[in-house]
């Protein structure tokens, strides 16, 4: 009969053996101090992107840990974590973690990127990438000093100046009140000859108008097509002749 521990479906009991770590004994005091990190430092290191940690060989570089230790004297762990996340997503998440170098760009590696993610901002006021630490919505007055508003006027050409002067004169003429003078009839300033010529032209226009109003006799075809209209036209003509 098989033993109880070998019965299928039952979990076998295993014992754990703890062996003291010996790798620290081969390190010098400086390396041992560099590799031992506190809880605050560990909380910041754990927020490095996994992509960056894999590129660095599975752990944070010592240079980045040294920068974190120095910054924790002035900043809290929350500020450093926010700095890492801000710089990573704004600048490094879409860029290569290593670059061999070129004529106009220096070479860098993933360790340099890790240091740049936690390095302080080069500002005498120790701001956070141009923004105040206590108020993230306010820009640093040292990095971005407020400038007085000055109207910048470009010199205009002669043609542009002439167009501007014309536009100003038109606006002034439209906005200025117009003078209402006394109406003077045209006939009051005419001579006797001009008055006689005016009367003659008026009589000629009246005669032409009467001739145009007079219509020719109604034809037989028009009277057959519309006898009612033809009779009305004849009656109106007769009434005008009797007046």
Segment 80-102 shows an average pLDDT of: 86
Segment 82-90 shows an average pLDDT of: 90
Domain assignment of residue 12, yes or no: no
> Three-state SS string across 106-171, please?
CCECHHHHHHHHHCCCCCCCCCECCECCCCCCCECCCCCCCCCCCCCCCCCCHHHHHHHHHHHHHH
Boundaries of domain holding 115: 41-146
Domain assignment of residue 73, yes or no: yes
Extract the tokens encoding 120.
């302080």
Per the model's pLDDT, the better-predicted residue between 26 and 240 turns out to be: 240
Segment 72-94 shows an average pLDDT of: 89
From residue 21, alpha-carbon distances to 26, 33, 36 in Å are 11, 16, 14
pLDDT in tens, 227-239: 888 888 788 777 7
Total number of domains constituting the chain: 1
Domain assignment of residue 204, yes or no: no
Q: Are 79 and 86 in contact (CB under 8 A)?
A: no
Domain assignment of residue 210, yes or no: no
Domain assignment of residue 31, yes or no: no
| 37 band by pLDDT with thresholds 50, 70 and 90 | low
Domain assignment of residue 91, yes or no: yes
Domain assignment of residue 75, yes or no: yes
| Residue 214: predicted pLDDT | 57
* Predicted confidence (pLDDT) at residue 190 exceeds the cutoff of 70: yes
Domain assignment of residue 164, yes or no: no
pLDDT in tens, 138-160: 888 888 776 665 555 566 777 77
pTM greater than 0.95: no
């Amino acid at each position: 009969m098989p033993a109880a521990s070998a019965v299928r479906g039952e979990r076998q009991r295993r014992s754990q053996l703890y062996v003291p770590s010996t790798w620290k004994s081969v390190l010098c005091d400086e390396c041992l101090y560099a590799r031992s990190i506190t809880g605050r430092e560990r909380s910041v290191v754990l927020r490095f992107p996994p992509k960056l940690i894999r590129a660095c060989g599975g752990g944070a570089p010592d240079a980045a840990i040294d920068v974190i230790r120095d910054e924790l004297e002035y900043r809290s762990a929350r500020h450093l974590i926010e700095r890492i996340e801000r710089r990573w997503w704004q600048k490094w998440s879409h860029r290569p973690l290593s670059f061999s170098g070129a004529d106009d760009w220096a070479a860098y590696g993933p360790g340099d990127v890790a240091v740049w993610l936690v390095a302080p901002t080069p500002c005498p006021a120790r701001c956070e990438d141009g923004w105040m630490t206590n108020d993230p919505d306010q820009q640093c007055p040292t990095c971005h000093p407020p400038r007085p508003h000055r109207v910048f006027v470009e010199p205009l050409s002669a043609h542009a100046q002439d167009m501007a002067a014309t536009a100003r004169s038109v606006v002034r003429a439209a906005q200025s009140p117009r003078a209402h003078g006394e109406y003077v009839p045209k006939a009051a300033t005419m001579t006797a000859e001009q008055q006689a010529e005016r009367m003659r032209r008026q009589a000629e226009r009246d005669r032409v108008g009467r001739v145009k109003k007079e219509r020719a006799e109604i034809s037989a075809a028009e009277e057959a097509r519309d006898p009612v209209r033809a009779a009305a036209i004849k009656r109106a003509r007769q009434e005008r002749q009797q007046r």
